[in-house]
Amino acid sequence: MPQIVFLGAGSVVFTRQLLADLFRFDDLPSLRIVLHDIDAERLEVARATAEQVAGRFGREAEIVATLDRREALTGADFAINMIQVGGIAATRVDLEIPAAAGLRQTIGDTTGVGGVFRALRTFPVLSGIAADMLDVCPDAWLLNYTNPMAMNVWWLSVVAPDLKVVGLCHSVYWTVHDLCDLIGVPMEGTHYRAAGVNHQAWLTEWSRDGEDLYPLLREAIARDPELERRVRVEIFKRIGFYPTETSEHSSEYLSWFLRSDAQIERFRLQPLEYIGISEENVAEFEHAKAALAAGEQLELEEGAAEYAPQIIHSMLTGTERTIHANVVNRGLIGNLPDGAVVEVPSTVDADGVHPLPFGDVPTQGAALNRTYLSVAELTIEAARTNDPERVRQAVLVDPNASSTLTPEEIWALCDRLTAAHAQYLPRALGGTL
């Protein structure tokens, strides 16, 4: 019986959707679903959720819930990672302390000062997961959803190079889905390819029946001046290829947008937006807990198209498909650094995930990607060498931070964040671990 482990299963809405996508496949064998979380209350809600979803789809599944990570991973075939170290409290710290210093972020989980500190508190837990997996399920695949995606997958390649790891994000799929809606073309039957780095890949091919769809997008933008007040449209105009992450998120990877009140107004941005999103997630958890206690059915989203269930289905049934995956660059993108983590089209079959060599991404896109990867590389080096100066240099390289704060202010901000996150950070970096 194939065993699928959910790490951070207390993210019950995401767990619910992944399970629904998985159980929609009617040609899978019976599965052993093992749920793990460090929060007993959330874990119990996850267990009840899994039992309800399996029952609604009429699937035979053994559902196990455990607070013991090593026990959960023993004998696993797949481990889906969606942990959030520190939860909403740490997210508030990542956003509010920089905001008080004058540095604005919208989401703060991928790059920049928020991404750097989220990575630093996640790396120790990832190292533990990797060590457990190499010991009790060395042949299993780790399917990572936890941000910062590029940093986390890169870190795992450093501490556990033999572990089979792939990073998964739905941003490419939903970018194409929403663009097709915008131009009035069905997504089904379109051909698309994107490459770059997670949350900053470039849609280099987008066509239907051999017809390039970019001209239709340009026409749609020309018809609606309000679209030019979107960050992604501005990036598209300047770079020539559409980026694969939301405008809110994309705004904080560059120096162009959050540096002034005028730009925030022009591009309709909402600093600290992720705090509200996180509060909504907490409310959704409470709603799910109450619904389960009342014996009510949980809402299931149709057509979520998450990649982890697709990968599991492909490996268990031999069904071939193509996804976009985050993997170590080993000659996949020629003008991005080898050893960094990049996002590229990949085929999946019974033998696993196979990244496809892409060649070069557009030069102007690669230039932005390399800055993003420099922040990631310095963060990896900081954790690998236990060098607190590298932490501050990573933030200094970030375009958003350096467009707003002086070097002295960045050093002081990192001191405050280190103190606030001390319980999650190694002693050598100023923490208490």
CA distance 157 to 167: 12
Backbone angles phi, psi at 384, to 5 degrees: -70, -40
Could you tell me whether strands 341-349 and 352-355 are parallel, antiparallel, or unpaired per DSSP bridges?
antiparallel
Note the pTM of the prediction, 2 decimals.
0.97
Residue 193 β-bridge partners = 205
Please check whether residue 333 lies inside any domain of the structure: no
Domains of the chain: total: 1
Mean pLDDT across the chain: 97
- DSSP per-residue string spanning 247-262: HHHHGGGSSSSTTSHH
Residue 17: predicted pLDDT: 93
Q: Is 113 a residue whose pLDDT tops 90?
A: yes
Please check whether residue 360 lies inside any domain of the structure: no
CA distance 203 to 192: 7
Backbone angles phi, psi at 269, to 5 degrees: -95, 155
Q: Is 304 a residue whose pLDDT tops 90?
A: no
> Residues 36, 170, 177, 324: which is the catalytic one?
170
Residue % of the chain over a pLDDT of 90: 98
Please check whether residue 351 lies inside any domain of the structure: no
Please check whether residue 146 lies inside any domain of the structure: yes
CA distance 290 to 118: 30
Calculate the dihedral angle through the C-alpha atoms of 47, 127, 97, 287, rounding to the nearest 10 degrees: -10
Residue 303: predicted pLDDT: 64
Mean pLDDT confidence for 277-282? 94
Mean pLDDT confidence for 88-106? 98
Please check whether residue 26 lies inside any domain of the structure: yes
The pLDDT confidence band at residue 13, using thresholds 50, 70 and 90, is confident
* Residue 27 half-sphere exposure toward CB, CA atoms < 13 A: 9
Three-class DSSP category at 1: coil
- DSSP per-residue string spanning 157-205: HHH-TTSEEEE--SHHHHHHHHHHHHHT--STTEEEEEEEETTEEEEEE
Mean pLDDT confidence for 326-344? 98
Q: Is 305 a residue whose pLDDT tops 90?
A: no
Please check whether residue 236 lies inside any domain of the structure: no
What domain range includes position 152?
3-167+297-317
Please check whether residue 60 lies inside any domain of the structure: yes
Residue 275: predicted pLDDT: 96
CB 384 within 8 A of CB 430: no
Reply yes or no on whether 170 is catalytic: yes
Residue 130: predicted pLDDT: 98
The pLDDT confidence band at residue 159, using thresholds 50, 70 and 90, is very high
pLDDT tens for residues 51-66? 999 999 999 899 999 9
CA distance 228 to 236: 10
Q: Alpha helices of 36-148 — where are they, by DSSP H?
A: 40-56, 69-73, 87-100, 112-136
The pLDDT confidence band at residue 404, using thresholds 50, 70 and 90, is very high
CATH number of the domain that residue 127 is part of: 3.40.50.720
pLDDT tens for residues 219-267? 999 999 999 999 999 999 999 999 999 999 999 999 999 999 999 999 9
